[in-house]
Amino acid sequence: MNEKLYINQTKDVFDAIVVGSGISGGWAAKELCEKGLKTLMIERGRVVEHRKDYIGESKGPWEFPNRTKVDNLLVEQQYKIQKQCYAFNDATKHFFGNDSELPYSTEEGTNFSWIRANQLGGKSLLWHRQSYRYSDFDFNANKADGHGNDWPIRYKDLSQWYSHVEKHIGVSGAKENLPQLPDGDFLPPFEFTAPEQAFKQSLEANFPDRKLIIGRAAHLTKPSEFHISQGRGQCMARNECQKGCSFGAYFSTQSSTLPAAVKTNNLHIAPNSVVHSLIYDEVTNKVKGVRVIDNDDLSTREYFAKVIFLCASTLGSTQIMLNSKSSKFPNGIANSSGVLGHYLMDHNYNAGASAEIEGFEDEYYSGRSPTGIYIPNFYYEPSKYNKKFVRGYALAGGTGRTDWRGKAWNKGIGKDFKKHLTQAGKWHISLGAQGEMLPRYENMISLHQTKTDKWGIPQLHINCQWSDNEKLMMEDAAVQAENILIKAGYSNVTRYTSYHVNAPGLAIHEVGTARMGKDPADSILNGYNQTHDIPNLFVTDGASFCSSAVANPSLTFMALTARAVNYCVNEMNNHRI
Amino acid sequence: MTDFSKNTSINENTRRSFLKQLTGAIGATTAYSLLSGNNLAIALAYNDNKELLDRIPLLFSKTQLITLASICQTIIPKTDTLGGADVDCHGFIDHQLFHCHTEEEQQNSLAIVNKIETISLQYFGHSFHKLECEIQTKVLNYLEMTKHFSSIDSNHFKSLKALIVFGYFTSEIGATKALNYQAVPGGYKGSIPYNENAKSWGSLSYY
């Protein structure tokens, strides 16, 4: 990499500052740079270089002293919250935040699991890569049933940007022609297993309103010339993505948007730069730059630009805005509406069912699929809602043959047991609910009155809970998933709900808190992710969402960001910014 | 004060009852050879392993570690691939319990190892590791399949066994020789033929 890429002190005024380098920040930087803007990407954490810094990659479990598990003492001291993430292990732990340095508080009687990834690339290194377009049923949901404010955009506003993003990152999937889950520009889909194919037939015959599709994932199943020219290669089906992938086969900032941005020579990166607040000029009503505290030595510095894109993560962007106070905006910058911090959502992943599948003993699979099976939401409009709750959920899951991890609990001693452990066992199937969470004013973040972190920044105080709607939805999801598996003829079907155990946060799909909207009186951002109050300030990450929708949000972060940059640059060219 | 005599002395009735059941379980000839005290002290090679005896365990005593090694090798014996103790499952378990498990889990594992050793001493007059491999297998099998263990013992044994299995199949030999290891599969196929004698994948995604 270009040595001049990384900067520390500078007096330059950039065309654009992007705060954050994850999925949204990488996209903002790429688009701004490609449009000729001198761009500074600010990252609060360390530099993670593609390939070189994937220190957990390509190692067998025996190469880790605790065989991929993390030492108790280290968990106790640094990862009490992060350990809850399914992808947290000894091969990935260095990509998770140190909880002891990243404190936050929660309202009494509530909890929130805030998963952090403060390094270059952010959570783009750790994400689960499921990539779905939202449909008009999603964008229309708030208006249709009266929960939350109306999204100021519809599918037609975003479809070309979804295509733009998909072509660049590479999304594997199959065209299905489903109204609630629009098709995209796909690379070839991952294959089903034999039982999954049979399950698809059974499901679609028993439940005409339901479809089984293969999970759409940002993996290069068949890289294009363009992908190869970027140094990316075909997915090897290791499914160890969160360790980092030297093949560049899944989308991350490092594999995809960063090389594109660097290529323009318009990019600079300021790593180890914790943004304290935005510098606001009341006279011009513009943001001029950012105040930064050094991640390591706590010294302060400032960076300046003509426009600022906040892509610091849903909670991160809003925290910066809340902490940017002025006489005009005493409660946080661009917060004339007073809704900044409110309407926090996550997805609810707290119900499901599993079963054993008889037969298919002569069937197996080769490689480790990085995706799974997916039943799109079948309650996708008010006329299809379940009577007990509004909105709906998808069911995501997979099949596999039981291996030693399950068989370890079976009875047996000696040679026969050893043989039993080494053979592929019964097929099993699991389905997990991915439920929409309603936008509620009460679910909110604010700055703690007294507590600060090591950088002197007020800590976030989070007050977020599942409402009855989310709980009833999970109860139904467990029953529906169980029913589906029973109807398919599977045995030992068991269902569960876990919303009483897991607080919001663990889907790592936190969205909202600086929502878009048509009305400046009840929203922060307009339909182009531009703050209503300050023309040269944009927020394009998950903070901007009006509803959580059902599907995974990352592809929409990217599409919204690319669209916002296009709008912004057009506004700059026309001297409106 | 602990009443050692009660714990260690062999209650003749209990012993007879246990051996009667064990005879049923393992066959009269073997039971006789146990009773006669013949052919018992065949220690496995690793029991004389200097490295094992010199090691300073974190959690287990040296004696307990030797018992644990025999339990590991009994549950996963050497076949065409190495066994549990051969790949140092016992050393791994000592390390893993210390670093990654709760104090309660540590105590449970120690308790069940002690229990197996106590039973061995009580009924056979020998340490578990001194018993013949075949007898070791039959004893553990008997303990697992009958009501001799209390339900608490049973749970502790299950947990220890699961840890042994985890230790074995996450070892290099276990993952790559006892199973079929694909470090870089090169792509995913949803359907390939399988027959029951084939080894399953040892290359797994650890979530």
Contact A274, A303 (CB under 8 A): no
Across the interface, of B79, B100, B141, the residue whose CB is closest to A71 is B100
Across the interface, do B162 and A408 touch by the CB < 8 Å criterion?
A: yes
In percent, the amount of chain B with pLDDT more than 90 equals 70
pLDDT at B15: 56
Q: Which amino acid is at B82?
A: L
What is the Cα–Cα distance from A204 to A235, expressed in whole angstroms?
30
Instruction: List CB contacts (< 8 A) between A411 and chain B.
Output: 144-145
Q: Is pLDDT above 90 for B49?
A: no
The domains found in chain A, sorted by start residue, are: 3-173+215-348+436-465+503-573 (3.50.50.60)
pLDDT-derived band at B1, boundaries 50, 70, 90: very low
Instruction: Please tell me the least confidently modeled range out of A132-141, A365-374, B20-29, B97-106.
Output: B20-29
Q: Which amino acid is at A3?
A: E
Q: Is pLDDT above 80 for B189?
A: yes
Q: Is pLDDT above 50 for B3?
A: no
Tell me the pLDDT of chain B averaged across its residues: 83
Sorted by sequence, the CB contacts under 8 Å of residue B150 that are 6+ apart come out as none
Across the interface, do B144 and A413 touch by the CB < 8 Å criterion?
A: yes
pLDDT at B52: 59
Q: Distance, in angstroms, between A409 CA and closest chain B CA?
A: 6
- Decide if A409 touches B, using CB distance below 8 A: yes
- Decide if A58 touches B, using CB distance below 8 A: yes
pLDDT at A514: 98
Q: Which of residues 324-363 of A touch B (CB under 8 A)?
A: 361-363
Summarised one tens digit per residue, pLDDT across range A110-128 is 999 999 999 999 999 999 9
pLDDT at A416: 97
- Decide if A68 touches B, using CB distance below 8 A: yes
pLDDT at B206: 80
pLDDT at B205: 86
Sorted by sequence, the CB contacts under 8 Å of residue B86 that are 6+ apart come out as B46, B73, B78, B173
Q: Is pLDDT above 50 for A23?
A: yes
In percent, the amount of chain B with pLDDT more than 70 equals 74
Contact A28, A312 (CB under 8 A): no
- Decide if A238 touches B, using CB distance below 8 A: yes
Instruction: List CB contacts (< 8 A) between B74 and chain A.
Output: 413-414
Q: Distance, in angstroms, between A369 CA and closest chain B CA?
A: 6
pLDDT-derived band at A173, boundaries 50, 70, 90: very high
Q: Distance, in angstroms, between A78 CA and closest chain B CA?
A: 15
pLDDT at B5: 33
- Is the reported ipTM for this assembly greater than 0.85? yes
pLDDT at B14: 58
* Token couple for A13: 């005024």
What is the Cα–Cα distance from A245 to B35, expressed in whole angstroms?
60
- Decide if A60 touches B, using CB distance below 8 A: yes
Across the interface, of A234, A413, A425, the residue whose CB is closest to B75 is A413
Across the interface, do B144 and A363 touch by the CB < 8 Å criterion?
A: no
Q: Is pLDDT above 70 for A274?
A: yes
- Decide if A57 touches B, using CB distance below 8 A: no
Compute φ and ψ for A160, nearest 5 degrees. -65, -30
Instruction: List CB contacts (< 8 A) between B145 and chain A.
Output: 411
pLDDT at B43: 36
Instruction: Please tell me the least confidently modeled range out of A387-391, A459-463, A546-550, B146-150.
Output: B146-150
Summarised one tens digit per residue, pLDDT across range A66-81 is 999 999 999 999 999 9
DSSP-derived 3-state class of residue A5: helix
Tell me the pLDDT of chain A averaged across its residues: 98
- Decide if A416 touches B, using CB distance below 8 A: no
Q: Is pLDDT above 90 for B40?
A: no
Apex A331 CA angle, A328 and A333, nearest 5: 60
- Could you tell me the pTM of the whole model? 0.94
pLDDT at B38: 34
Q: What is the mean pLDDT of residues A85-102?
A: 97
The dihedral through the CA atoms of B132, B138, B144, B149 has a sign that is negative
Q: How many CA atoms lie within 13 A of A543 on its CB side?
A: 35
pLDDT at B9: 38
Q: What is the mean pLDDT of residues A473-500?
A: 98
What is the Cα–Cα distance from B16 to B35, expressed in whole angstroms?
11
Across the interface, of B76, B166, B187, the residue whose CB is closest to A367 is B187
pLDDT-derived band at B27, boundaries 50, 70, 90: low
Q: Is pLDDT above 60 for B42?
A: no
pLDDT at B13: 56
Instruction: List CB contacts (< 8 A) between B79 and chain A.
Output: 415, 418-419
Contact A135, A155 (CB under 8 A): yes
pLDDT at B16: 58
Q: Is pLDDT above 90 for B133?
A: yes
- Decide if A76 touches B, using CB distance below 8 A: no
pLDDT at A2: 54
* Token couple for A314: 């849903």
More confident residue, B10 or A93: A93
pLDDT at A4: 87
Closest residue, chain A, to B146 (C-alpha): A411
Q: Is pLDDT above 90 for A395?
A: yes
Q: Is pLDDT above 70 for B25?
A: no
Our CA dihedral for B196, B197, B198, B204, rounded to 10 degrees, sits at 70
Map out the domains of chain B as residue ranges.
Answer: 40-176
Instruction: Please tell me the least confidently modeled range out of A87-101, B20-34, B125-139.
Output: B20-34
- H or E element at residue B153: helix B151-169
